[in-house]
Amino acid sequence: MAPGAAPAPLPVLLALLAAAARPAAAWDLWALRCGFSSDCECRFRPDLRGLEFDLATSLVGQPLVRQQVMKGVREFLENQNPVKPLVMSFHGSTGTGKTYVSSMLIHYLFQGGLQSPYVHHFSPIVHFPHAEHIEQYKESLKRWIQGNLTNCGRSAFLFDEMDKMHPGLIDVIIPFLGPSWVVYGTNYRKAIFIFISNAGGEQINDMTLALWRAHKDREEISLQDLEPAISKAVFENPQSGFWKSGIINEHLIDVVVPFLPLKHHHVKQCVVSELNQQGLEVRPGVVQEVADSILYFPEEEKLFSSTGCKTVASRISFFF
Ligand SMILES: *[C@@H]1O[C@H](CO)[C@@H](O)[C@H](O)[C@H]1NC(C)=O
Residue 16 lies in a domain: no
- Taking CA atoms only, the protein residue closest to ligand 1 atom 10 is 144
> In this predicted structure, what is the pLDDT of residue 2?
42
Q: Which helix (H) or strand (E) holds 258?
A: strand 255-258
Please state the domain count of the chain: 2
**Sheet containing 156-159: which strands, arranged edge to edge?**
119-122, 156-159, 192-197, 86-91, 255-258
> In this predicted structure, what is the pLDDT of residue 24?
54
Residue 10 lies in a domain: no
> In this predicted structure, what is the pLDDT of residue 30?
63
247/284 same-domain check: no
> What number does the ligand 1 atom closest to the CA of 122 have?
5
For residues 228 and 270, the answer to whether their CB atoms sit within 8 Å is: no
206/237 same-domain check: yes
Residue to mutate (ligand 1; options 40, 144, 149, 173; most atoms within 8 A of CB)? 144
> In this predicted structure, what is the pLDDT of residue 136?
96
Exposed e or buried b per residue across 105-133, where buried means at least 16 C-beta atoms within 10 angstroms of its C-beta: bbbbbbeeeeebebbbbbebeebbeeeee
- Taking CA atoms only, the protein residue closest to ligand 1 atom 7 is 144
Residues of the domain holding 197: 48-259
> In this predicted structure, what is the pLDDT of residue 225?
85
> In this predicted structure, what is the pLDDT of residue 20?
52
> In this predicted structure, what is the pLDDT of residue 113?
94
Give pLDDT < 50 ranges for the chain. 1-7
> In this predicted structure, what is the pLDDT of residue 317?
87
272/227 same-domain check: no
Residue 293 gets which letter from DSSP? T
> What number does the ligand 1 atom closest to the CA of 150 have?
13
302/181 same-domain check: no
> In this predicted structure, what is the pLDDT of residue 182?
59
> What number does the ligand 1 atom closest to the CA of 146 have?
14
- Taking CA atoms only, the protein residue closest to ligand 1 atom 6 is 144
